[in-house]
A and B are shown apart, each in its own frame.
Chain A
Amino acid sequence: MGIEFRRDERFRESFSYRNSDAGVLRFPFPFGEDRYMYSVNIEPHTRGGPSPAFAHAFDVDEHYVAECRERALVLADDPGRCQVLPHMMPAQWDTLELLMESLSADYPEHFSLTKDGDAWRWINRPLGLDQSFVFGRPETLPCPPFEYITRQAQGDFTLQDQRDDNLFVDGGMVTTQADWSLDFDIGMSFHEWHGPVPLAHDIGVFDRALRFLLRLQYGQPVRRLNWTMTINPRLDTSPENYPDWGPDRTTVTPENVADKVHLRVELQTLFRLPRSNAILFGIRCYLLSVRDIERVEKWRKRLHRVLTTLPPELAEYKGLTRYRDTLIAHLAAGDDGAALSPGIQPDQTALAARS
């Protein structure tokens, strides 16, 4: 049985994006405890775990077709959202191979890959693509290999080159980002591109994370969840078009808070690539409205507790300051203070109707 794609939803103007009930329950809720603080929360990206979003190397869900169309819209407007430095061509092919082999193995009803030596044929049924090409020969594809395949994947991707005991962000496809710019960061080292993050530097998070990632092994990818909040289900919250979405933060009222405010979760995955020794960093974005979160009892109560105890520096960095109090006031009524199970799983298998 294949995935039923919600082909017509949009992440701009009408904001017609919605999650099905199953889509709500498979959301990778990021809070395993009632308080949140930065940590090196990296774990092996093995299949399975507390969210169905962890079941495959690259998660595909009901928003796949709509997200690929949104990416195409962003790129048409700003081609600089996809950039790869010249020395990263082996990493481009590594990425294409990894994505094509993973998607065709994990979702055979939607994707297929056949090979005759270097002659490859790729079929993407949801997007209606049938492409024959020669692996290793960029001129046989309609665009460079990294752009070609990441146009057909959900979430952003960056390529990290490893040299001088450091990682450098030397490429990326970044159209669904939480307020950071590839065009600004490209070529930066690990500590440079994490420069703006508050508090975490002081507790050594980035030193430890870098040393860990330098040792990341092929075949043993890792993952972590990160989160922020977004007003309206807007994927493209980039610095480049801040005027389009920044003012939305001022529009939150007690009446519209449950529909306007979305928890934005990034399932971040890191894969060592073989030919290039680069690291592919996947930033898969999930959006869930507060109204849908409230349909899961545990998540509703826990989100209230996390927001109440969130350090102000983090709230400021994540851009929540203007509407945090409104949101907490809305969630307070639904939290009786009862103890919650540890972990991120929803603890229920069906949802109440939307309120």
Chain B
Amino acid sequence: MILDRLIPARVAGIDSLGPTLKRFRFEPESGRFPTAAPGAHILVTLRGPERVWKNAYSLVTPPDQRDGYAIIVRRVRDSRGGSHFLHDHLRPGDRVEIGPPASLFPIASLARRHILIGGGIGLTPFLSYVPVLRARGAAFELHQYCTDEETGIFRELLAEAGAGVTVHGETSRRSFTEVLTDQPLGTHVYTCGPAGMMEAVEAAARDLGWPEAAIHKESFGGAEGGRPFRVTLARSGRTLDVPETQSLLEALETAGIEAPCLCRGGACGVCLTGVVDGEIEHRDHVLTEEERAGGRLMATCVSRARSDVLVLDL
């Protein structure tokens, strides 16, 4: 399968799941969508009247469903991404463009048991995991942590997930340490949710002596702003400002520069760009310690500048 362009699609339907949660269903303009990995995400290109968003969302549909993809999006207050556009403006029949489904959060092939820990909307990748794990006859538990108000919504989303699923509200929830204690050797844990929660899961697993290779975190969408800086593009001589609420990648896109990207969360390495001058604040998960120290490559989607100016090889 060679997918060298975006896939034209349209909105087949929008389901309201709760006050801030909607499911968006897409169907291809022609043919079928590519087989998507369990845990895959897609980059959805949304063309609003004033700007274009490229946002990454986990698919909640299983690999063999190729006549339609679906995502679930929470409307974020003060969103600078596209969630308000999706929620407030997107209508059935609207056209969108979808990138090839990418997998940075795969199911471990040699795991003997899988513990899935979701936080809030971080449940989404696990909705595509569950049918796959069941079809493979794999042993798994799913623990979904959420607010009391949303327990009903998530219970309903998981209604067909079968045994081994627990939805934890705010009161009397089990701690991560309790969930991870006494699991057999060969168990892997996967977590997706707010950064603080994922770090807590990771810390609990480490404290219990879990090997690093058995701990998996979904890592896209963690981009946050920071100190503003200026960027000079060495090849074209152009200069742009990156404000504190925007990523370098977004600033490049706003300026109309074709910048490569995929996960938008510092995990895939597609956006790595040469740096000619300036000091980088690395926030990605891709570069080796040596490459970081070398200071000549940066992930534009998450990393920023320590110096006032960065000169990029663009």
Q: How far is the CB of B24 from chain A (nearest CB, A)?
A: 21
Q: CB distance B106 to A162 under 8 Å?
A: yes
B56 on interface, CB distance cutoff 8 Å = no
**Among A268-276, A292-300, A317-325, which stretch is in contact with chain B?**
A268-276
Which residue of B is nearest A135, CB measured?
B64
Q: CB distance B101 to A274 under 8 Å?
A: yes
Given A136-B135, A277-B109, residue A215 in contact with residue B268 (CB < 8 A): yes
Q: CB distance B38 to A275 under 8 Å?
A: yes
**Count of CB-CB pairs between chains A and B under 8 Å:** 85
B301 on interface, CB distance cutoff 8 Å = no
Q: CB distance A218 to B37 under 8 Å?
A: yes
Which residue of B is nearest A47, CB measured?
B2
Q: Which of B2, B63, B108 contacts A274 (CB 8 A)?
A: B63
Measured CA separation A211–B286 after assembly (Å): 9
B100 on interface, CB distance cutoff 8 Å = yes
Given A46-B2, A102-B1, A275-B35, residue A217 in contact with residue B109 (CB < 8 A): no
A337 on interface, CB distance cutoff 8 Å = no
Which residue of B is nearest A212, CB measured?
B269
Q: How far is the CB of B195 from chain A (nearest CB, A)?
A: 22
Q: CB distance B108 to A211 under 8 Å?
A: no
Interface residues on A, range: 35 or more
Measured CA separation A345–B313 after assembly (Å): 31
- Which of A202-224 touch B at CB < 8 Å? 211, 215, 217-221
Q: How far is the CB of B217 from chain A (nearest CB, A)?
A: 14
Q: Which of B37, B38, B100 contacts A220 (CB 8 A)?
A: B100
Which residue of A is nearest B62, CB measured?
A275
Q: Which of the listed residues A44, A91, A215, A271 has the most CB atoms from chain B within 10 Å of its own CB?
A: A215
Q: Which of B109, B136, B270 contacts A278 (CB 8 A)?
A: B109
Given A88-B109, A163-B109, A277-B106, residue A219 in contact with residue B270 (CB < 8 A): no
- B40 surroundings in chain A (CB, below 8 A): 218, 274
Given A163-B108, A219-B3, residue A275 in contact with residue B132 (CB < 8 A): yes
B4 on interface, CB distance cutoff 8 Å = yes
- B109 surroundings in chain A (CB, below 8 A): 87-88, 90-91, 161, 163, 276-278
Q: CB distance B1 to A57 under 8 Å?
A: yes
- Which of B79-124 touch A at CB < 8 Å? 100-103, 106-110
Q: Which of the listed residues B1, B64, B269 has the most CB atoms from chain A within 10 Å of its own CB?
A: B1
- Interface bits A161-187 vs B (CB < 8 Å: 1, else 0): 111100000000000000000000000
- A276 surroundings in chain B (CB, below 8 A): 106, 109
Q: How far is the CB of B20 from chain A (nearest CB, A)?
A: 31
Measured CA separation A19–B50 after assembly (Å): 58
Q: Which of B4, B103, B213 contacts A277 (CB 8 A)?
A: B103
B262 on interface, CB distance cutoff 8 Å = yes
**How would you classify the secondary structure of chain B's contact residues: helix, strand, loop or mixed?**
loop
Given A98-B1, A274-B63, residue A218 in contact with residue B102 (CB < 8 A): yes
A301 on interface, CB distance cutoff 8 Å = no
Measured CA separation A90–B133 after assembly (Å): 11
Measured CA separation A90–B108 after assembly (Å): 12
- Interface bits B267-290 vs A (CB < 8 Å: 1, else 0): 011100000000000000010100
Measured CA separation A271–B101 after assembly (Å): 14
A45 on interface, CB distance cutoff 8 Å = yes
Q: CB distance A274 to B36 under 8 Å?
A: yes
Q: CB distance B269 to A215 under 8 Å?
A: yes
Q: How far is the CB of B274 from chain A (nearest CB, A)?
A: 15
Q: CB distance A218 to B213 under 8 Å?
A: no
A147 on interface, CB distance cutoff 8 Å = no
Measured CA separation A263–B269 after assembly (Å): 36
- B64 surroundings in chain A (CB, below 8 A): 118, 135
- Interface bits B215-227 vs A (CB < 8 Å: 1, else 0): 0000000000000
B34 on interface, CB distance cutoff 8 Å = yes
A59 on interface, CB distance cutoff 8 Å = no
- A163 surroundings in chain B (CB, below 8 A): 108-110, 213
- Which of A236-258 touch B at CB < 8 Å? none
Q: How far is the CB of A217 from chain B (nearest CB, A)?
A: 5
Q: CB distance B136 to A90 under 8 Å?
A: yes
Q: CB distance A220 to B268 under 8 Å?
A: no
Measured CA separation A275–B66 after assembly (Å): 13
- A218 surroundings in chain B (CB, below 8 A): 1, 3, 34, 37, 40, 100-103
- Interface bits A35-59 vs B (CB < 8 Å: 1, else 0): 0000000001111000000000100
- A33 surroundings in chain B (CB, below 8 A): none
Which residue of A is nearest B7, CB measured?
A219
Measured CA separation A293–B269 after assembly (Å): 40
Q: How far is the CB of B180 from chain A (nearest CB, A)?
A: 20
Q: How far is the CB of B308 from chain A (nearest CB, A)?
A: 31
Q: Which of the listed residues B36, B63, B286 has the most CB atoms from chain A within 10 Å of its own CB?
A: B63
- B63 surroundings in chain A (CB, below 8 A): 274-275
What are the nearest 5 A-B pairs in CB distance?
A219-B3, A219-B100, A277-B106, A215-B269, A274-B35
Q: A161-B109, A275-B132, A276-B106 are in contact. List 6 more A-B contacts (CB 8 A).
A: A57-B2, A161-B110, A217-B100, A220-B4, A274-B63, A275-B63
Chain A residues within CB distance 8 Å of chain B = 44-47, 57, 87-88, 90-91, 94, 97-98, 101-102, 118, 135-136, 161-164, 211, 215, 217-221, 271-272, 274-278
**Cross-chain pairs A/B with CB under 8 angstroms, 7 sampled:** A101-B1, A218-B103, A219-B1, A219-B4, A219-B101, A274-B35, A274-B103
